[in-house]
Amino acid sequence: MKPEPQIYEYLLDAYQLEPTDTIFIDDLPENLDAAASLGIRTIRFVDAAQCERALFDHQCL
């Protein structure tokens, strides 16, 4: 379970995702740190407008 890295590894493997092509959004820094340690891009959720800007910055929108 979050924030253990194994849950992120499982999802990457199960869905055949590349960490650098994956974005994890969460409001808790410890969850983001665990995902980032595997090379997953992260966004700390503050509010919808900030999250939308961050997704745009990551060229997802």
pLDDT at 3: 85
Q: State the residue range of the domain holding 44.
A: 5-57
| Packing angle, helices 29-36 and 5-14, rounded to 10 | 50
- With 0.85 as the threshold, say if the pTM is over it: yes
pLDDT at 6: 93
Contact, 31 vs 19, CB < 8 A? no
Domains contained in the chain, number? 1
pLDDT at 61: 73
Maximum C-alpha span of the chain: 31
Q: In the chain, what are the helix, strand and coil shares in percent, each to the nearest 5? A: 50, 15, 35
pLDDT at 37: 96
Q: pLDDT tens, 1-40? A: 778 899 999 999 999 999 999 999 999 999 999 999 999 9
